[in-house]
Amino acid sequence: MVRRNDQRRAALVDAAIEVLAREGARGLTFRAVDGEAGVPAGTASNYFANRDELFTQAGARVYERLQPEDDSLPPGLGDRKSYARLMRELVSRIAAFRTGYLALLELRLEATRRPELRRVLTERVRADVEGNVAYHVASGLPGDATAVKLLILALNWLIVEQLTLPDVFSEAEREQLITEAVERIIGPE
């Protein structure tokens, strides 16, 4: 029996994320993952029963890596200006993991064809939304649960735009759009 190494499994899943971002879902093969991870041919097939499992593990791992290391809020976020700054930092942090977010887009498309991947992503996204709403409410930030959900939707598409067609909006325009999204979605003070 093959001994499984958790660190190697994580490295293979991280390699799968890189392959997804670069080559898309069709390019996600065991051979491509082995090459990206720099391991002998056949290694990935020893860790994952099939491509479905590889997709599912990559979907779960992207969300792990997108979570902030320190989830505490900086002090003084009660006003909209500070809130907008926090949202800009959030967009920057997520956009910094470009390959992860691009892989996530590939995974979302692939989830329309793979029920287990759809289940995993649905659970992760739902938990992420619920966690953001609970965090928001507990922190006393302005706005309600619907405002948080609307900001998630708006900022997610802004991130997609930034990563896929970065020249549509300048950096200054993106900054202004985030500020306006917070102002308009959160509502008047």
Q: Do residue 96 and residue 179 come from a single domain?
A: yes
Q: Do residue 159 and residue 116 come from a single domain?
A: yes
Domain count, the chain: 2
Among candidate residues 17, 111, 21, 105, the one with its CA nearest the CA of residue 64: 17
**74 or 123: which leads in pLDDT:** 123
Q: Please report, for the domain that includes residue 141, its CATH number.
A: 1.10.357.10
Q: Do residue 55 and residue 117 come from a single domain?
A: no
Confidence of residue 75 (pLDDT cuts 50, 70, 90): low
Angle between helices 145-164 and 115-139 (to 10 degrees): 120
Q: What is the pLDDT of residue 162?
A: 92
Q: What is the mean pLDDT of residues 59-81?
A: 73
Instruction: Indicate whether 1 belongs to any domain.
Output: no
Q: What is the mean pLDDT of residues 86-105?
A: 89
Instruction: Indicate whether 14 belongs to any domain.
Output: yes
Q: Do residue 88 and residue 132 come from a single domain?
A: yes
Looking at 112-167, list the stretches that DSSP marks H as alpha helix, in order from N- to C-terminal side.
Answer: 115-139, 145-164
Q: Do residue 105 and residue 166 come from a single domain?
A: yes
Cα-Cα-Cα-Cα dihedral of 18, 24, 27, 28, to 10°? 60
> Is residue 78 within 8 Å of residue 141, measured between CB atoms?
yes
Q: Please report, for the domain that includes residue 22, its CATH number.
A: 1.10.10.60
Q: Summarize pLDDT for 143-184 with one digit per residue, the tens.
A: 899 999 999 999 999 999 999 999 999 999 999 999 999 999
Q: Summarize pLDDT for 109-140 with one digit per residue, the tens.
A: 999 999 999 998 999 999 989 998 998 888 88
- Polymer length in residues for the chain: 189
> Is residue 117 within 8 Å of residue 126, measured between CB atoms?
no
Q: Do residue 76 and residue 152 come from a single domain?
A: yes
Q: Do residue 88 and residue 46 come from a single domain?
A: no
Q: Do residue 51 and residue 133 come from a single domain?
A: no
Q: Do residue 53 and residue 137 come from a single domain?
A: no
Q: Summarize pLDDT for 31-42 with one digit per residue, the tens.
A: 999 999 999 999
